[in-house]
Amino acid sequence: MKKRLKKSMVILILLFVSITGLIASDGTEIDTGATAWMLTSTALVLLMIPGLAMFYGGLVRSKNVLGTVMHSFVAMGIITVLWLIVGYSMCFGQNTLGGFFGWNRDYFFLKGIDTNILEAKVPEYVFSMFQLKFAIITPALIAGAFAERVSFKAYCFFIALWSLLVYNPLCHWVWASDGFLFNIGAKGAIDFAGGTVVHISAGVSGLVAALFLGSRRGYPYQVIRPNNLVITMLGAGLLWVGWFGFNAGSSVSSGLSTAQALTATQIAAAAGALTWILIESFHQGKATALGFASGILAGLVAVTPAAGVVQPYGAMILGILASSVCYMAIQAKNKLGYDDSLDAFGIHGVGGITGALFLTFFIRPSWMAEAAAANGGTWSMWSQLVVQAIAVGIAIAFSAGMTFIIIFLLNKFIRFRSTESEEMAGLDRSYHGERGYGMLNPS
Amino acid sequence: MKIITAIIREVQLDKVREALIAAEITRITVSRVSGHGQQRIEEMYRGQRIIPDLIPKIKIEIGVNEAFVDITVDAILRSARTTDGEEGNVGDGKIFITPLEECIRIRTGERGGSAI
């Protein structure tokens, strides 16, 4: 849906230039139902960011709780301002520099979309703000990989650069009507709400950053325990709620496809969470709360690219698969000994890859029929799998390479990793001069 | 038998624990306390600098036999100081040593030095 919409948007803008004011003054062009749902979705996706802050914040030690929460919150500030200036244009403008990213003069400071209404009968402001929320949460997800050990200043520069050089190009390739991954194969690479753009890119970048920065002081010999799992559980709950905006809002409508995405989302999350605690019960003997939360996320991440094309049974299988694979990935992490502190790669990277690839086997027949028609008669599941694999491969290679370059260069100017004394004192005191909690036992 | 009570900076807890473990002192009790000594620190809330009159500290309590007193004290001295040189900074903390009359292991009822 996102895809069809962008094609028409370009036309609409051209139209708009010639008959300025006509569309805007005519209020009937707006579908109030769709607009109302998109406004709700925009708010729901924003709610995921405090949700993520709580999820991550609860998992770190008490001396780092505010610093970790701030990693999510500061993204709301930085990315919003960048989005206004260049972000929206780079993501949804016309191909520039051979299609590396987009550009549209009208999107600079969003000054040309004041009265635009998309073909989906939704004001373009709503679409732009909805997409902004995705751009905010993606760099915030990365912070989980290098929690408890990065300088706040360097982090701010990092997410700004990462958003410009990794997120915006990738978003343009996958979601803009002239993006090359949007047009690959018969009906494009399937990424309904951000499997490649959001989760794979954030997860893989997190892994690269975690490897570059090294482990936290004392890891893995010193036991590092979460300071408050209750906050983490509440955060996971908010993420689940917000995900309805994330997935069901990505239909940019309020209708059948919205309902399909919403159902798939609920089922995958539940199946993922149940699978995780079942595996844990057999493997460790206890079903943990954090395991349940991890399963929710694994299921949600896996269904993100798939929500628009899979039927409920497919969503359930994706949830089960994602939790199983992510569980193994985290076991492997513990064996390998690298410090992806809050499992940004283990859940978002691995879950995103699992979802983006395995969704191929559960695509609803009507989608395959449309793809076959577009391809001139035939289009098989396997051809689509190749397309998905190409998109996933490009997302992995691009985000890994670019993240390495950004961190390597940034580190020459600003020390990315905290000094030993800053790390021991904790992010809260070192960078913010505050304390998250009053009197608690040391953890 | 003695009780060694050390009041240290929160941030030095990791280092002190590492030093104690290296000196094979593993049986300790740690609590979060606040108090007032010579040190003044600054915190910031809504652009206001605040100097709390009670500063958060960590209290470590270790029960030891006579032979371990110096080892323990040395380990804490080495690890709780915040400068690389000989002298530390105001706020590094204090160590108190008090006599310990009796020590009883609850599980077995053992008394004295062997129960520590």
ipTM of the complex: 0.78
Task: Name which residue leads in pLDDT, A3 or A34.
Answer: A34
Compute the distance between CA of residue A135 and CA of residue A156 in angstroms, rounded to an integer. Answer: 14
A350-358 and A381-413 helices cross at what angle (nearest 10)? Answer: 160
d(CA A367, CA A390): 20
Confidence band, pLDDT 50/70/90 cuts, at residue A117: very high
Residues of A in contact with B14 (CB under 8 A): 217-218, 222, 424
Model confidence at A21: pLDDT above 50: no
Helix or strand (DSSP H, E) at A422: helix A420-425
For residue A223, give both structure tokens. Answer: 């036991």
**Length of chain B as a residue count:** 116
CB contact under 8 A, B43 and A63: no
Q: DSSP letter at A123?
A: B
Query: What gap in Å lies between CA A181 and CA A286, rounded to an integer?
Result: 43
Mean pLDDT score, A143-156: 96
Which pLDDT tens digit goes with each residue over B21-54? Answer: 999 998 999 998 888 888 777 777 777 887 777 8
Residue type, A191: D
Q: Which residues pair with A280 in a beta bridge?
A: none
pLDDT, tens digit (0-9, with 9 covering 90-100), for A389-419: 999 999 999 999 999 999 999 999 999 999 9
CB A150 within 8 A of CB A418: yes
Q: Mean per-residue pLDDT for A183-195?
A: 89
Q: Which residues of A13-38 are buried (b: 16+ CB within 10 A; e: fewer)?
A: beebeeeeeebbeeeeebbeebbebb
- Cα–Cα distance for residue pair A3/A177, rounded to 1 Å: 6
Q: Tell me the whole-structure pTM to 2 decimals.
A: 0.88
Check whether the bond before B52 is cis (ω within 30° of 0).
no
Asked whether residue A372 carries a pLDDT value surpassing 70, the answer given is: yes
Nearest CA in chain A to B10: A425
pLDDT at residue A287 is higher than 80: yes
Q: What are phi and psi for residue B29, nearest 5 degrees?
A: -120, 130
Q: Alpha helices of A337-380 — where are they, by DSSP H?
A: 350-358, 365-374
> Does B26 reach chain A within 8 Å, measured CB to CB?
no
Where are chain A's structural domains? 2-28+40-424
Closest by alpha carbon to A137, among A232, A256, A245? A245
Better pLDDT: A440 or B5:
B5
Helix (H) or strand (E) holding B7: strand B2-8
Predicted confidence (pLDDT) at residue A6 exceeds the cutoff of 90: no
The reply to whether B61 touches chain A by the CB within 8 Å rule is: no
pLDDT at A259: 95
Q: How far does chain B reach from its first CA to its final CA, in angstroms?
A: 9
Is there a contact between A50 and A72 (Cβ–Cβ < 8 Å)? Answer: yes
Measured CA to CA, the distance from residue B115 to residue B105 in angstroms comes to 5
At residue A18 the predicted structure's pLDDT band, cuts being 50, 70 and 90, is very low
CA distance A432 to chain B (A): 8
Across the interface, whether the CB atoms of B11 and A435 are under 8 A apart is answered: no
| pLDDT computed for residue A10 by the predictor | 54
Q: Are A212 and A229 in contact (CB under 8 A)?
A: no
CB-based contacts of B114, cutoff 8 Å, min separation 6: none
Output the pLDDT for position A25.
45
What pLDDT shows up at residue A14?
47
CB contact A221 to B (< 8 Å): no
Q: Which of A425, A432, A439 sits opposite B32 (nearest CB)?
A: A439
Asked if B30 lies within 8 A of A435 by C-beta distance, the reply is no
Alpha-carbon distances, residue A34 vs A14, A24, B4 (angstroms): 23, 17, 69
User: What is the SS3 assignment for B55?
Assistant: strand
Answer yes or no: do B43 and A441 touch at CB < 8 A. no
Dihedral of the alpha carbons of A20, A26, A27, A28, in degrees to the nearest 10: -130
Contact B31 A441 (CB under 8 A): yes
What are the distances in angstroms from CA A205 to CA A87, A140, A172, A211, A366?
19, 11, 18, 10, 35
Domains of chain B from N-terminus onward: 2-115 (3.30.70.120)
**Minimal CA–CA distance to B13: which of B70, B88, B97, B92?**
B92
Distance (Å) from the alpha carbon of B43 to chain A's nearest alpha carbon: 5
Q: Is the pLDDT of residue B84 over 80?
A: no
Strand ranges in A24-129 using DSSP code E only, listed in sequence order: 94-96, 101-103
Pick the CATH number of A2-28+40-424 from 3.40.50.300, 1.10.760.10, 1.10.3430.10, 3.20.20.70: 1.10.3430.10
Minimum-distance CB partner of A424 among B11, B32, B45: B11
C-alpha distances in Å from residue B23, one per residue of A115, A424, B16, B68, B115: 72, 21, 10, 10, 19
